[in-house]
Each structure stands twice: as structure tokens, then as C-alpha cells.
Amino acid sequence: MGIPFAMQDPDTLAVNTIRTLCMDAVQRANSGHPGTPMGVAPVAYTLWQRFLRFDPADPIWPNRDRFVLSEGHASTLLWSLLHLARVHAVDPDYEVLKEHAVTLEDLETFRQLDSHCPGHPEYRWTSGVETTTGPLGQGVATSVGMAMAGVWLAARYNRENLTLFDFDVYALAGDGCMMEGISSEAASLAGHLALSNLCWIYDSNRVTIEGHTDITFTEDVAARFIAYGWNVTTVADANDLDAVARAFHTFKTEHERPTLIVVHSHIGYGSPVEDSPQAHGEPFGTEGVRATKRFLGMPEDAEFFVPGDVYETFAAGVGARGAAAHQEWEERFERYRADHPELADEVARMQRRDLPVGWEAALPVFAADEAGIASRDSSGQVLNALAGVVPWVVGGSADLSPSTKTRLTFDGAGDFEPGQVSGRNLHFGIREHASAAVANGLALTKLRPFWSGFLIFSDYARGAIRLSALMEIPVVHVFTHDSIGVGEDGPTHQPVEQLASLRAVPGLLVFRPGDANEVVETWRFVAPLRHEPAAVVLSRQPLPTLDRSKLGPAAGVARGGYVLAEARAGGPEVILLATGSEVHLALEARAELESGGTPTRVVSLPCWELFDRQPAEYRDEVLPPQVTARVAVEQAATLGWHRFVGDAGRVVGMHTFGASAPLKQLLTKFGFTPDRVAAEARECLEDVRRSARA
């Protein structure tokens, strides 16, 4: 039996309280992972209590240190820390509330409906959570974006004797995080950028669900990170608080490289199943919990027991230190506001996710032009105009900016590179998954990020794209080379199912604009978003810039879909629907149908999600229910289109992968011609008339 809790020193008592809260939460839920939080509790406690600059009374103050629990299955560790530190809740409008983010009742209802202690950390659901983690590796990769944002903010806003930004970013990772490929992508990028404000803590407990890591993972992780250009230090025993503190001191004195602290811990410390796979993913059982509490010197019959002294310990440590640092920062910011009012206004707007007054005036208008311009090119022009007036718009590509046209070229844009961290152009390298996760980290730090790649490679970034939607953060995912229009690159580079896949993500706005002015309106809508990510899908080939004096205004993009061209006489008998490069194809098919006496309407539907949000009256106005002869055309999988064309309608789309050939040959082979679309429309109309006669 351990030392009775009443005789334990404050640090030991606090650590053991964290451990027993974690055990009790998992046991009560009969679900979760008790072993990891118990093993690494001393490390997290030391970080919070001695080093982390974090004000529990205002968990979103801009210069706070960030703590990311990348091994999200250990969420009870974070819930216990947030509870014991008495972190305040924050509402969606960024107002700090008087209530606590995590109550004891929340811990008691861990993993239950509406508890603020879900199974994995969820940003926006529980205050004090810096990013949603769960899929392993996402947390550490996102932390790289946070660290990049930190040094960028410092470079832009810090002035002599007025340092606004110098926060550090800590991420607690496990064996699983180190196995996932995204962590390698992100660590390589962080090492190249020499992000000395970044510290990953590798909780090496050597156990996963299937067993000891020896069955799959025997590499020298420390050597790998040294090769990445990281500073690496090791703590032999997670329970040695002084050794843990020395490791954090090593990080604080390192100014040239990111730091990896390898901590050897015992999963399920003190439990009957210590160091076994059972400690990873299963509750210990009633007797196992009691035995562990006896080992720790805690009351074995008390559930969710928190000695009052523990709250006081946290208040005197992280609470007092964080409050003092925050107060000093607020006073400094007032001096900064007096000396640098314009920069101070930028900082304040950024924190609220607001844009500068009059930003829309910078957006261009494109004249009608039959030769047209690729939407990737028009988007590049609009993006440069936007970034030129919104200084905290930053981004780049996964080594494809010459192709995605996302390079910022205005004077002063610059490149973000080691020793030159004020640049607006980020270079992610060929690391699609990390690119999206880093963009998430930038957005979580209140910058306005974009990243880009080919649409086909959105598959490589899917996990991080999904998390941007789950977290409701305004990342812009820019994808070009949107169809079989890629041509000779062939089916490996021709997206087919990717549009449907992105549209299936709840909360992700997917735009496929049909000409340059639809591109402008897409960015006009996307730029001020505060709680939604967007995927902007663009063409490689030129698209005619439509004559809006004869067609519906491009402002209809804001409603997701709109009548682009009306039937010339009377109401329409056929409706053609299209997105992107197929909008002009639909207009050509309409001309053929109209010349043959078939009144035809063309509807541009660049964003399904926005169209779905419109009132039923508007949707019925655009797509009258009585007009059932409808044909949709899109160079992508047809999945999802029948909700717009109905049972009687038809879809001209892709039912196979593409082929390697010049564009015009591909369009003919797969039926994307005016004749084919017009023929489908005539056949559809005849079927509708035949059914009506029957």
C-alpha cells in the first residue's frame, strides 16, 4: 500500500488524484483507455504546474502556450487537468463565461451524451481543448501549424520592448502517433523550419491494442528525429518529476531546433495490469480499481475523490502563473495599442475572425471573354487581391503552387522559411496530409490559412480535411485539376469520386465555380467565414467568362445555385444543371435545344451545401417541381445528383475511371459534348411526356 493521501506531498497527491479520476471515469463509463493517462500523468502535471503559460480564467488569451493531447484516447488526462485547474468555459462568440469547462459531473458522465468529457478531445465542445484529436498523429501535425503561426505572429507584430507573441506549443504523443505517417511528414517540416517553440513529448509506454510494440515498431525514434533536425532528450522514468522538469528546461533553452522529449512510462501505472495491453483499452474492473487506489494510497471506496488541497495546488501553480502572465500581456497590449494602433487593430480583428473594413473592394471583376481563363488562374488573381488587404491570410501548396496558382506575388508577400518567418507563402513540400493538418493549426491560432493541391490528392489529406469540418474552423482547401480535363496525365491523376467524397463531409462547403466571376463570388463568400471550412475546386483548362448582361448574376453563388439562363419563351420544359467547366457545356446544349424548339433553363449549382440551406420557396423557384425533365452534367461520379434531377432525370457523368488522352478526345469518349447532353435532354423529356400520357 502506498503512502496515505493525507501524508503525500502536494505534487504526489495531485498526480495520484489525476490518476484516480481517470480510472474512475473509465470505470463508470465501462469504456475508454485508463492506462495511458495514468502512466503519463506526472509528465502532464509537471508541464501544467511548472511551465505552461495558461490562464484558466481565460483559456483563449492570444499569447497562451498551447497544449495538444495528440494521444487523444487518453482524454481523461485532459479532462482531469481542465477540471482541477478550474478552467472557465468560452462560448462560440469567444466570450469567457463564469462557469467551468469541465465539472466533476462531466467527469462522472465521461463518454455519455452531452457530457463535456467526450471519448476524445473535441475543439469547440470543451473549452481548453486546443484541437480535436483522436486519429493518431493529427494532434502533433496540427501543433506544427500552431508553432508556425506563433513565429509568424511574432515576426509581424512584435516590436522592441513590446513582445506580443512568444508562446510555446506542446504536444503529448504516444507510440501510435509516431507510427502514423502524418507525424513523419509534420516532423520533417518542423525540423526544416527550425521551429524552436515546438515541443513534442513522446510517451513511450511500448503498448498498443494488439500487444507490445515489439511486434510492429522497433525503430530508433530518437535517431529518426535527430535526422529530422530536432533536439532530442530522454526521461528514463515518467515518475521522476525532477527529471521531467529538467527536460522541459532543456526545451526552454533550445533556440535553434524543435525538441522531442522521449519519456519512458508505465501504462496503467500501479494497476494489476501495468505494462499490459489490457491497461491500454479496457477498464480495470471494480477490484482492479480498488487495488490500484490502495497502491497509490488513495481511498479505495471513494469515487471521483478530489482532496481540497489539490484544487489549491493547481490554483497556486498554473492558475497564479497564468493569471500573472495574462495580466502582464493585457497591460503590454494597451501600450502596444497606443504606439501601434493599426497593428493592434489587426490583432484584435484576427482574434474575432473579422476582416478589415472594406476588404471586398479589392476583389476584381472579370469582363466577358469567350476565350476565358482557367478557374485556377482567376482564383489566383482573386486570392492575391484578398491577401493583399488581409495581412493574416497565409498559405501555400503541397509543392504545386506553380500549378495551383496559389503563390502570393504582391510586394512584400515573401516566403516563410528558416530565418525568414514573416513570409506569407508557405512551402509544405510533398506532404498533403500534413499540409491540411498544418493549415488546421494555423486556423486554430486565428490566422486565415489556405493550402492547395490537385483534387485527386485530396484523398491523401482526407483525415485532416474531415477534422477541419468537425472543428468548424475556416480553413480553405484549394484543389485544382478538377476533372478528366487533366488529359494526358491519365486516370491516376483524373479525379472521379473525389467531389462526391468531399460533398459527403458534414459541414464542409464544396465550391466548383463555373467561370471567373463565380470564382470571385466564391472567395467573397468564403473569406469572412468564421466557423466553416471550404473546398474550392478549380479547373486547369480555360473556362469562358460568361456575359452577365445576358445571364444571371454570379452573385447567385452565395445561394449555392441559381438560374443562369432562362428559357427564351414561356416556362422551361427542360432544366440543365451543371457545375464548373460543364456550365458552359450546358449553355451550348441549351442553345441546341432552344434552336429545336425546346424551352430550356440552365441552373448553375456551384455549392450544393449552400443551395440546401435556402428556403424551399427559393429552391422550388430555381428547380420548379413540375419540371421533371432534368439533366445534370458534371465530369465526376454521378453519386448525389439524383436528389436534384429526381427519378425522371438523367445525369451525364463518370461511371468509370478516366483515360490518358488529349482533352477533346476524352470529352468525346465520355460523352461531355453539347450533342450528347442535348440528346439526353430530349430523351428525358420524351420519357416524361410518355409517362404523362400513360
Q: Could you tell me which residues are beta bridge partners of residue 451?
A: 396, 477
Domain containing 142 — which CATH number? Answer: 3.40.50.970
Q: Does 624 share its domain with 500?
A: no
The answer to the question of residue 219 being in a domain is yes
Q: Does 496 share its domain with 468?
A: yes
> Rounded to two decimals, what is the model's pTM?
0.97
Active-site residue, 594 included = no
User: How far lies 692's CA from each of 373, 629, 651, 687, 688, in Å?
Assistant: 43, 12, 21, 9, 6
For the beta carbon of residue 683, count every other beta carbon within 10 angstroms. Answer: 13
The answer to the question of residue 347 being in a domain is no
The answer to the question of residue 401 being in a domain is yes
Residue burial 48-78, b: 16+ Cβ < 10 Å; e: rest:
bbbbbbbbbebbbbbbbbbbbbbbbbbbbbb
Rounded CA-CA distance 607/610 in Å is 6
Question: What integer pLDDT is reported at residue 20 of this predicted model?
Answer: 97
**Domain endpoint, select from 504, 521, 544:** 544
Question: What integer pLDDT is reported at residue 2 of this predicted model?
Answer: 80
**Domain endpoint, select from 513, 544, 575:** 544
Q: How many domains does the chain have?
A: 3
DSSP string of 109-169, one letter each residue: TTTSTT-SS-SS--TTTSTT--S---STTHHHHHHHHHHHHHHHHHHHH-BTTB------E
CA angle 59, 125, 52 (to 5 degrees): 30
The answer to the question of residue 376 being in a domain is yes
Question: What integer pLDDT is reported at residue 179 of this predicted model?
Answer: 97
Where would I find the beta strands (DSSP E) of 514-591?
534-537, 542-545, 562-565, 574-578
- For residue 625 the three cell numbers come to 417541381
At position 131, the amino acid (one-letter code) is: T
Rounded CA-CA distance 460/693 in Å is 51
Q: Does 283 share its domain with 303?
A: yes
Question: What integer pLDDT is reported at residue 1 of this predicted model?
Answer: 65
Determine which one of 122, 282, 346, 432 is catalytic.
Answer: 432
Question: What integer pLDDT is reported at residue 207 of this predicted model?
Answer: 85
Q: Does 381 share its domain with 459?
A: yes
Structural domain including 481 reads 359-544
Q: Does 134 share its domain with 198?
A: yes
CB-based contacts of 278-281 (< 8 A; 24+ apart in sequence): 279/34, 279/35, 279/38, 279/207, 280/33, 280/35, 280/36, 280/207, 280/208, 280/209, 281/33, 281/73, 281/209
Q: State the 10-residue block means of pLDDT for the chain, 694 residues long.
A: 86 97 96 94 98 98 98 97 97 89 97 96 96 97 98 97 97 97 98 98 91 91 98 97 98 98 93 82 91 95 95 98 98 97 98 97 98 98 98 97 97 96 98 98 98 98 98 98 92 97 98 98 98 97 97 98 94 97 98 97 98 98 98 98 97 96 94 97 95 85
- For residue 149 the three cell numbers come to 503561426
Question: What integer pLDDT is reported at residue 211 of this predicted model?
Answer: 85
Question: What integer pLDDT is reported at residue 275 of this predicted model?
Answer: 81
